[in-house]
């Protein structure tokens, strides 16, 4: 298991690489060119600049999250081939700086969706919250409220410039059914996976978050069956998963440890996050400690350990602790994610010790 940390860049993050170096066990930085919107060319000079910042502090650059997929590809417009060519160009460039995994998603219009960015928990910390009933409101009203709450931070998939065209985006997706979205994903993968095989970069699709359709938009990476369909339709080890326990864990019907055991050889990147799911469908993100939420994190780690997982892992969204919400990106504070790493490594180490002593 290779422990990593998502970093938004020295000009776009209040957490410095020198802070991350002080967290035991972190060997790699999950990075991107966060100023780029979907479909933009990634210049080699800029790629090298960020990669050099990371390797200069002793970290691996093996995982990029995300190279966002242009909406024309998801919708299936004739212009998609142009954007696929740009995507392939980016894949080839990233291979030259040591990238081995690209995390991406195929969610229409919105990336991960929450209705409140700093919901207070009983202990005084706060976290990302999803109120199911609030999704019935007008999407524009919800977007404006969320972006206002984000302050100066730009959230992936929620770039203000893109969401300013929200009505146009919804109109463009009006005829995109679940079947069409699957077809368009297959078309995309059929073009890029041969290149990935050539340059040794694995694609790792992120599940839909939450794991069900919202605002009438289809969402197709949400369960065991939909994941199996996606993997089988382009059956290459380079077509794989970012297995996110927080996203898939929003639906209590998903048996996460069983899914890890089934898909372990196609999981190239693991997001480990805990959520507390309420009976009415609302959920809030909580600490990584399994007993605090609805995801059995210890059993999740056990499933990876049983299969000798050697892929990349990161603690996903954490709570905001000790007042850091005043200047931290929603979901991406320093303290709770660092605590999460120590919890995950503690479980892993205990499994290592038990194995070495012959204890089940």
Give CA–CA dist 276/293, Å, rounded.
4
The whole domain housing 249 covers 2-108+176-273+296-318+329-356
Residue 14 lies in a domain: yes
Q: What is the pTM of this model?
A: 0.94
Q: Name the active-site residue from 70, 71, 72, 206.
A: 206
Q: Name the active-site residue from 317, 320, 328, 336.
A: 317
Residue 137 lies in a domain: no
pLDDT band at 359 (very low <50, low <70, confident <90, very high): low
Residue 150 lies in a domain: no
Say which residue, 80 or 327, is predicted with more confidence. Answer: 80
Residue 141 lies in a domain: no
**What is the pLDDT at residue 152?**
63
Please provide residue 243's backbone torsions phi and psi, each rounded to the nearest 5 degrees. Answer: -90, 110
**What is the pLDDT at residue 143?**
74
**What is the pLDDT at residue 228?**
98
| Structure tokens given for 34 | 């966060």
Could you confirm whether 206 is annotated as catalytic? yes
**pLDDT(145) > 80:** no
| Structure tokens given for 328 | 């931290």
Could you confirm whether 316 is annotated as catalytic? yes
Which are the contacts of 58, defined by CB distance < 8 A and separation ≥ 6?
Answer: 21
Q: Would you call the peptide bond into 66 cis, given omega within 30 degrees of 0 as the criterion?
A: yes
Could you confirm whether 187 is annotated as catalytic? no
Task: Give the 3-state secondary structure of residue 285.
Answer: strand
Split into its structural domains, the chain has a count of 1
Q: Name the active-site residue from 87, 312, 332, 343.
A: 332
Q: Contact 101/65 with Cβ under 8 angstroms?
A: no
Burial (CB < 10 A; 0-12, 13-18, 19+), residue 342, is middle
Report how far Cα 302 is from the mean position of its chain's Cα atoms: 21
**pLDDT(134) > 70:** yes
Residue 76 lies in a domain: yes
Q: Name the active-site residue from 34, 264, 271, 288.
A: 271
**What is the pLDDT at residue 329?**
87
Which are the contacts of 317, defined by CB distance < 8 A and separation ≥ 6?
Answer: 127, 128, 246, 273, 285, 331, 332, 337
pLDDT tens-digit readout, 9-67: 877 778 899 999 999 999 999 999 998 999 999 999 999 999 999 999 999 999 999 89
Could you confirm whether 72 is annotated as catalytic? no
Could you confirm whether 332 is annotated as catalytic? yes
pLDDT band at 155 (very low <50, low <70, confident <90, very high): low
Q: Contact 3/346 with Cβ under 8 angstroms?
A: no
Q: What percent of the chain has pLDDT over 90?
A: 78
- The chain-wide mean pLDDT, for the chain, equals 93
Q: Please name the residue that has the structure tokens 């002080």.
A: 22
Residue 351 lies in a domain: yes
The DSSP H or E segment spanning 7 is none
CATH number at residue 76: 3.20.20.150
């Amino acid at each position: 298991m290779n422990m990593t940390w998502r970093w938004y860049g020295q000009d776009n993050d209040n957490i410095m690489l020198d802070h991350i170096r002080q967290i035991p066990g972190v060997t790699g930085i999950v990075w991107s060119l966060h100023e780029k919107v979907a479909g933009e060319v990634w210049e080699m000079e800029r790629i090298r600049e960020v990669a050099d910042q990371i390797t200069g502090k002793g970290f691996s650059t093996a995982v990029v999250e995300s190279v966002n997929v242009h909406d024309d590809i998801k919708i299936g417009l004739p212009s998609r081939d142009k954007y696929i060519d740009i995507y392939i160009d980016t894949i080839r460039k990233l291979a030259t700086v040591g990238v081995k995994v690209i995390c991406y998603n195929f969610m229409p219009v919105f990336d991960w969706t929450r209705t409140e960015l700093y919901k207070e928990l009983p202990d005084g910390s706060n976290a990302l919250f999803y109120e199911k009933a609030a999704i019935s409101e007008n999407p524009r009203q919800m977007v404006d409220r969320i972006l206002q709450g984000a302050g100066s931070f730009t959230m992936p998939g929620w770039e203000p410039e893109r969401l300013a065209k929200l009505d146009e985006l919804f109109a463009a997706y009006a005829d995109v059914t679940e079947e069409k979205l699957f077809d368009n994903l297959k078309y995309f993968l059929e073009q890029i996976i041969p290149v990935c095989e050539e340059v040794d970069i694995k694609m790792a699709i992120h599940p839909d978050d939450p794991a069900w359709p919202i605002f009438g938009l289809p969402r197709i990476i949400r369960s065991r069956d939909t994941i199996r369909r996606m993997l089988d339709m382009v059956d290459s080890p380079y077509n794989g998963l970012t297995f996110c326990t927080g996203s898939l864990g929003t639906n209590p019907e998903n048996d996460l440890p069983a899914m890890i055991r089934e898909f372990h050889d196609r999981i190239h990147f693991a997001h480990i996050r805990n959520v507390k799911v309420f009976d009415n469908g609302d959920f809030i993100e909580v600490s990584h400690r399994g007993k605090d939420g609805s995801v059995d994190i210890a059993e999740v780690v056990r499933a990876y350990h049983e299969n000798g997982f050697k892929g990349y892992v990161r603690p996903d969204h954490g709570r905001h602790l000790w007042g850091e919400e005043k200047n931290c990106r929603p979901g991406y504070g320093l303290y709770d994610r660092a605590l999460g790493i120590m919890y995950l490594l503690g479980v892993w180490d205990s499994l290592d010790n038990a194995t070495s002593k012959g204890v089940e």
